[in-house]
Chain A
């Protein structure tokens, strides 16, 4: 049986199971590398999600950055978009987000941001990795060390920016239920209730460090668990589920139907394409074909990058911001140009509510306006060495479709497609296939059998 990896150090940063994989020593070294990588001038912003290990990691990150001569501003438990917003607002040198997003509680991770709150480019991330591996850090002399201060109020200026972008007066009339999954969204939404008179009904709103009430994944299954059944009894207009660091979102309609996380990006493309000059939707090769169909309605075009945040960042860099309408993935993580391309679940939620208001439609009606696509996802353990031969044969067997090989193999036919790729976190091959209408059961089973034949 394939064993789950417990530590991954890559361009995306540092991620692992705390204790058995990710240790204090890794944290110190990686944060020291980041402190060495960053230019001096301006503080470094640090925030975390509520995982218990975040306290330990925060201490290590702070020590390393101070030792490299950077002042540190610590925001405490906040969502990642708040960290990124604070970096811009304070003209910081960069920032660190401590949190493992949609992973289980025993995981944690470090994400690094440059000035402007942007993710590091692949070139920058490579440099950071090289410094980490060389372990030659720029520790400054004792009289040039940085100082740490805390800022507990970073959420307010972030909300001010959202208030300028959305019509809060109109949106607060909606009755909205939110499953916070014990994460950072609870703090942001509670503040929106206090400051702007929203009436978000929050469930699982206790910020929790050890065990989340359910898996922190923005999937249809998690929406169905607690959120969807509350919609009708509470007579809510919409329901939203966030992951722990609030960059991903999933939905439930007012009728109590969970909406696939794959639908979030097409919905936002539908909303944003007609509003701005941008005609491009940037996504990855595993994302639903519904996005192509919706984009085509508005004369838009879909650009597909390999799976993963780093590939998305690199794809964005290939276009001018005004060319892009929206970018995101099928996991419910979406970024919008007016928020400088930060994955932000709360901004996505506000966009969906704005869409409901402007169109005067219920959420279920909007969702019903999209054709049905059925997606099936599975996985097969496979040793890495067998992957290239498997992909080559698979391509030959499906020569009648349009092949895309930027990340594993995707083959498209007019009404269906599949994507077979290697997981970045486990020694498995992921198999995804989708069809307009009914689920492509036979294709899916055939693909799984084919890959199993190689294992």
Chain B
């Protein structure tokens, strides 16, 4: 069976696709009109990242919103978390960010937010998609059509203010940290420079901060894409380096030696920083490292686990009133006192705050965390055979703790492995962790063998 290309996906997470033949302006317009109908008119905020198709799609989205009788507030090119903060703070009816986040440049997507600037829950998303398919949109007459109001400046100001209320800005600024930044020429390009230089008083060495240029590296800030940032950190003698994805919700961190920190460890450092200041529990997804359990356990806090996906983590964080959360493997840090969303800026501020507080280099802070070996991967698999595979896994690991809320997670005394089907491709994604490299390789290898045995693929 040829591997299916997922050129367009319309589903409960919104619309995502390859721009051109697949993600067309008509489709974006209709989806936005469905959104405008769902929120029943009123003020809706639109923002976007820097991908080439953003401008075209933003006009299509504005058309659909206006046609539904919404008033449009255009904040232009801005990080997704900044848009979300602004939606919530200005009591808009909702918001749309035109961004495909970490996906390659030919993709784009619409991220949809409710009046509080949060992802819609799964039921609301279901309602919206039904409305889109029914095409029964609000059709505003001339006198009901509102304007487009630009507001490019307020959002970042609001966002920075919120963060600076939660960290010791004076102390951070007093250190005048030498920081490096790689914003992938994305929505963070201009905002991140202002944030690090002006708000946090860093001496900044930045690359890829031209929002008019294409992405110079892979959009996702994975370690293998951050060679230039590591190089910059070493060359300029920086104390820390930050990398973002095109809509600046995800964060990756390079230490002063130029080594890319494990993203689970980055989340753990932020969780530590938050838990040392505030009471409350932690929510992470099933694929996130046990280091979070260790860090929370040391402080007598509880860790809740959710299916993978920002919306899932946010939903549980709201329900349990968690004080911090995130997704380890993809660099998502969520601190609800700023906003219930993945926010690279909150992450940067907390890490610099921790360095200022302890006077230690970031590598030393990371080295103090409990050590784990981790392995991630994916393998082709037919979705119809997943049930058989999961049963085989249960049989292979008798007595293990099992969680079936998102694929299958098997937790053993000295490690765990999590398998889940991709939403978009005929793939199984695997995440595994153990105390030693040897243990994790053994566990991963054993499961891959089971996958091979149960999946009759050529």
Which of the candidate stretches B59-67, B252-260, B269-277, B374-382 sits at the interface with the other chain?
Answer: B59-67
Q: Is the CB of B26 within 8 A of A19?
A: no
Whole-angstrom distance between the alpha carbons of A145 and B57 in the complex?
11
Q: Is the CB of B29 within 8 A of A18?
A: no
Q: Is the CB of A140 within 8 A of B20?
A: yes
**Residue among B25, B60, B106 with the highest chain A CB neighbour number at 10 A:** B25
Whole-angstrom distance between the alpha carbons of A427 and B113 in the complex?
46
Interface members, chain B 8-39 (any A CB < 8 Å): 18-21, 24-26, 28-30, 33
- B210 to chain A: closest CB distance in Å? 16
Q: Is the CB of B20 within 8 A of A142?
A: yes
**Residues of chain A with a CB closer than 8 A to B143's CB:** 52, 105-106, 210-211
The proximity string for A residues 47-60 relative to B, scoring 1 for CB distances below 8 Å and 0 otherwise, is 00001110111011
Confirm or deny: A253 has a beta carbon within 8 angstroms of a beta carbon on chain B: no
Q: Is the CB of A145 within 8 A of B19?
A: yes
Residue of B nearest to A35 (CB): B25
The proximity string for A residues 364-393 relative to B, scoring 1 for CB distances below 8 Å and 0 otherwise, is 000000000000000000000000000000
**Within the complex, which residue of B24, B57, B60, B141 is in contact with A19, where a contact is CB–CB below 8 Å?**
B141
**Residues of chain A with a CB closer than 8 A to B55's CB:** 66, 145, 147-148
Q: Is the CB of B52 within 8 A of A24?
A: no
- B225 to chain A: closest CB distance in Å? 20
Q: Is the CB of B56 within 8 A of A27?
A: no
Interface members, chain A 50-80 (any B CB < 8 Å): 51-53, 55-57, 59-60, 62-64, 66-67
**Residues of chain B with a CB closer than 8 A to A51's CB:** 142
- A27 to chain B: closest CB distance in Å? 7
- B6 to chain A: closest CB distance in Å? 16
**Residues of chain A with a CB closer than 8 A to B25's CB:** 28, 32, 60, 63-64, 66-67, 139
Whole-angstrom distance between the alpha carbons of A125 and B187 in the complex?
41
Whole-angstrom distance between the alpha carbons of A106 and B143 in the complex?
7
Confirm or deny: B50 has a beta carbon within 8 angstroms of a beta carbon on chain A: no
**Residue among B26, B64, B106, B142 with the highest chain A CB neighbour number at 10 A:** B142
- A147 to chain B: closest CB distance in Å? 7
Q: Is the CB of B63 within 8 A of A28?
A: yes
Q: Is the CB of A52 within 8 A of B20?
A: no
Confirm or deny: A344 has a beta carbon within 8 angstroms of a beta carbon on chain B: no
A142-B51 contact given A19-B140, A20-B141, CB 8 Å threshold: yes
Q: Is the CB of B142 within 8 A of A210?
A: yes
Q: Is the CB of A63 within 8 A of B56?
A: yes
**Residue among B62, B67, B139, B140 with the highest chain A CB neighbour number at 10 A:** B67
Residue of A nearest to B51 (CB): A142
The proximity string for B residues 327-356 relative to A, scoring 1 for CB distances below 8 Å and 0 otherwise, is 000000000000000000000000000000
- A75 to chain B: closest CB distance in Å? 16
Q: Is the CB of B59 within 8 A of A19?
A: no
Confirm or deny: B190 has a beta carbon within 8 angstroms of a beta carbon on chain A: no
Residue of A nearest to B69 (CB): A19
Q: Is the CB of B60 within 8 A of A142?
A: no
The proximity string for B residues 260-302 relative to A, scoring 1 for CB distances below 8 Å and 0 otherwise, is 0000000000000000000000000000000000000000000
For B, the interface residue count at a CB cutoff of 8 angstroms equals: 39
Confirm or deny: B412 has a beta carbon within 8 angstroms of a beta carbon on chain A: no
**Within the complex, which residue of A24, A53, A67 is in contact with B142, where a contact is CB–CB below 8 Å?**
A53
Interface members, chain A 19-52 (any B CB < 8 Å): 19-20, 23-25, 27-29, 32, 51-52
Q: Is the CB of A17 within 8 A of B141?
A: yes
**Residue among A17, A28, A62, A105 with the highest chain B CB neighbour number at 10 A:** A28
Residue of A nearest to B105 (CB): A142
The proximity string for A residues 4-19 relative to B, scoring 1 for CB distances below 8 Å and 0 otherwise, is 0000000000000111
**Residues of chain A with a CB closer than 8 A to B137's CB:** 23
Q: Is the CB of B29 within 8 A of A63?
A: yes
Whole-angstrom distance between the alpha carbons of A142 and B20 in the complex?
6
**Residues of chain A with a CB closer than 8 A to B145's CB:** 18, 52-53, 55-56
Q: Is the CB of A63 within 8 A of B139?
A: no
Q: Is the CB of A56 within 8 A of B139?
A: no
Confirm or deny: B171 has a beta carbon within 8 angstroms of a beta carbon on chain A: no
Q: Is the CB of A63 within 8 A of B59?
A: yes
A142-B18 contact given A51-B142, A210-B143, CB 8 Å threshold: yes
**Residues of chain B with a CB closer than 8 A to A25's CB:** 26, 29-30
**Residues of chain A with a CB closer than 8 A to B64's CB:** 24
Whole-angstrom distance between the alpha carbons of A137 and B142 in the complex?
28
A56-B67 contact given A106-B142, A210-B142, CB 8 Å threshold: yes
Residue of A nearest to B64 (CB): A24
Confirm or deny: B357 has a beta carbon within 8 angstroms of a beta carbon on chain A: no
Whole-angstrom distance between the alpha carbons of A56 and B106 in the complex?
26
Q: Is the CB of B53 within 8 A of A142?
A: yes
**Residues of chain B with a CB closer than 8 A to A24's CB:** 29-30, 33, 63-64, 66-67
Whole-angstrom distance between the alpha carbons of A107 and B141 in the complex?
9
**Residues of chain B with a CB closer than 8 A to A18's CB:** 140-142, 145
**Within the complex, which residue of B51, B53, B63, B106 is in contact with A60, where a contact is CB–CB below 8 Å?**
B63
Confirm or deny: A108 has a beta carbon within 8 angstroms of a beta carbon on chain B: yes
Whole-angstrom distance between the alpha carbons of A67 and B139 in the complex?
24
Confirm or deny: B148 has a beta carbon within 8 angstroms of a beta carbon on chain A: yes
- B237 to chain A: closest CB distance in Å? 37
**Residues of chain B with a CB closer than 8 A to A53's CB:** 140, 142, 145
Residue of A nearest to B214 (CB): A143
Confirm or deny: A258 has a beta carbon within 8 angstroms of a beta carbon on chain B: no
**Residues of chain A with a CB closer than 8 A to B67's CB:** 19, 23-24, 56, 60
**Residues of chain A with a CB closer than 8 A to B404's CB:** none
Residue of A nearest to B18 (CB): A142
- A56 to chain B: closest CB distance in Å? 4
**Within the complex, which residue of B28, B63, B142 is in contact with A27, where a contact is CB–CB below 8 Å?**
B63
**Residue among A18, A51, A147, A148 with the highest chain B CB neighbour number at 10 A:** A18
**Residues of chain A with a CB closer than 8 A to B139's CB:** 19-20, 23
Interface members, chain B 141-176 (any A CB < 8 Å): 141-148
Residue of A nearest to B107 (CB): A142
- A15 to chain B: closest CB distance in Å? 13
Q: Is the CB of A59 within 8 A of B56?
A: no
Whole-angstrom distance between the alpha carbons of A141 and B7 in the complex?
13
Residue of A nearest to B30 (CB): A25
**Residues of chain A with a CB closer than 8 A to B62's CB:** 56, 59
Q: Is the CB of B52 within 8 A of A67?
A: no
Q: Is the CB of A141 within 8 A of B33?
A: no
Interface members, chain A 99-141 (any B CB < 8 Å): 105-108, 137, 139-141
**Residues of chain B with a CB closer than 8 A to A63's CB:** 25, 28-29, 56-57, 59-60, 63
Whole-angstrom distance between the alpha carbons of A29 and B63 in the complex?
13
Confirm or deny: A95 has a beta carbon within 8 angstroms of a beta carbon on chain B: no
Confirm or deny: A146 has a beta carbon within 8 angstroms of a beta carbon on chain B: yes
The proximity string for B residues 78-120 relative to A, scoring 1 for CB distances below 8 Å and 0 otherwise, is 0000000000000000000000000001101000000000000
- A416 to chain B: closest CB distance in Å? 41
**Residues of chain B with a CB closer than 8 A to A32's CB:** 24-26
Q: Is the CB of B140 within 8 A of A59?
A: no
Whole-angstrom distance between the alpha carbons of A419 and B67 in the complex?
40
**Residues of chain A with a CB closer than 8 A to B148's CB:** 55, 59
Whole-angstrom distance between the alpha carbons of A146 and B137 in the complex?
29
Whole-angstrom distance between the alpha carbons of A64 and B18 in the complex?
16
- B19 to chain A: closest CB distance in Å? 4
Whole-angstrom distance between the alpha carbons of A29 and B24 in the complex?
10
- A21 to chain B: closest CB distance in Å? 9
Q: Can you list 17 A-B pairs with a CB-CB distance of less than 8 A?
A: A18-B140, A19-B140, A24-B33, A28-B25, A52-B146, A55-B145, A55-B147, A59-B63, A59-B66, A59-B148, A63-B25, A63-B60, A66-B56, A67-B19, A67-B25, A142-B105, A148-B55
Chain A interface residues toward B at CB < 8 A: 17-20, 23-25, 27-29, 32, 51-53, 55-57, 59-60, 62-64, 66-67, 105-108, 137, 139-143, 145-148, 209-211
7 tightest CB-CB pairs across the interface, nearest first? A56-B66, A63-B60, A24-B67, A60-B63, A59-B63, A63-B59, A66-B56
Given A28-B26, A139-B25, A142-B53, 7 more pairs with CB closer than 8 A: A20-B141, A24-B33, A24-B64, A60-B29, A63-B63, A107-B142, A108-B142
